[in-house]
Amino acid sequence: MPADDGASLTVPPAAPAAGPAAVPTAVSPTTRPTDPLVSALRSHRLLAIVRGDDPGAALDTVLSLFRLGVGAVEVSLTTAGAPGVIARARAELGPGALLGAGTVLTPADAEQAAAAGAAFAVTPGITGALAACHDLGLPVLAGALTPTEVVAALAAGAAAIKLFPASLGGVPYLRALRAPFPDVPFVPVGGVDEAAVRGYLAAGATAVGVGSPLIGGAAAGTGEPGALAARVADYLRAVEGTPLEGAS
């Protein structure tokens, strides 16, 4: 049975402007209402990233990931036939699946993603796609690395921050970033192996994004039978075995 409508993942509307008698107050871009996308990522804690040059294998990989228990999947637009892969997966999975489009760089990419049925968009950095996604009602996991980029991405309407490439600083860098940004949802992406999953989540990451270490050759049609299922099981154990920050 299809889950609830994934279209409910929308960017929260901006607060109404204060009346003329109100005293102006500064609102930090880092203090914003929790987006439904963030809540979903916090629940699933693992975002699988599919990228490959075989559309059929990529589609099979997406469907297998959901069947194996992964609750959030991103299909990179660098995947061969990516819009078709997303559209066919959406038709198979129903409207409630947390299926998004990655490597969204331009307004045209955002429009393609929305038309294919993506429930969210992921960017590698701060691009012109953010404004287009906002207009289309697509929440964005925006790529950023430095504090300046984090602030800029949030000010541009990002629902959460894709810390990329996370491997440059690792878990210590995430901890350092969370000192000035304790309420910002971070999703580290790039070089996230099983050991890093535990470290990032323990350090307060909302979720982790994992591509080739999880997918292997599956989306290119070169994976060994059963290998994807084994890797998914390992990653899910790592995710489920890591207590939420602050949990007793």
- Residue 223's pLDDT band, with cuts at 50, 70 and 90, is confident
Q: Which whole-number Å values give the CA distances from 115 to 91, 96, 143, 148, 242, in the listed order?
A: 13, 16, 22, 32, 36
Catalytic positions, written as ranges: 74, 162
Rounded to whole angstroms, the Cα distance separating 47 from 36 reads: 15
Dihedral of CA atoms 172, 174, 177, 182 in degrees, nearest 10, equals -120
Peptide bond into 165 cis (omega under 30): yes
Name the pTM for this structure.
0.86
Across 124-153, average pLDDT: 97
Across 128-154, average pLDDT: 97
Q: Which two tokens stand for residue 220?
A: 């290119």
pLDDT digits (tens, 9 = 90+) for 162-211: 999 999 999 999 999 999 999 999 999 999 999 899 999 999 999 999 99
Rounded to whole angstroms, the Cα distance separating 149 from 33 reads: 20
Greatest pairwise CA separation for the chain in angstroms = 67
Strand ranges inside the chain, DSSP E: 46-50, 72-76, 98-102, 121-123, 140-144, 160-163, 186-188, 208-210
Residue 54 near residue 80, CB atoms below 8 Å: yes
pLDDT of residue 26: 37
Residue 211 near residue 196, CB atoms below 8 Å: no
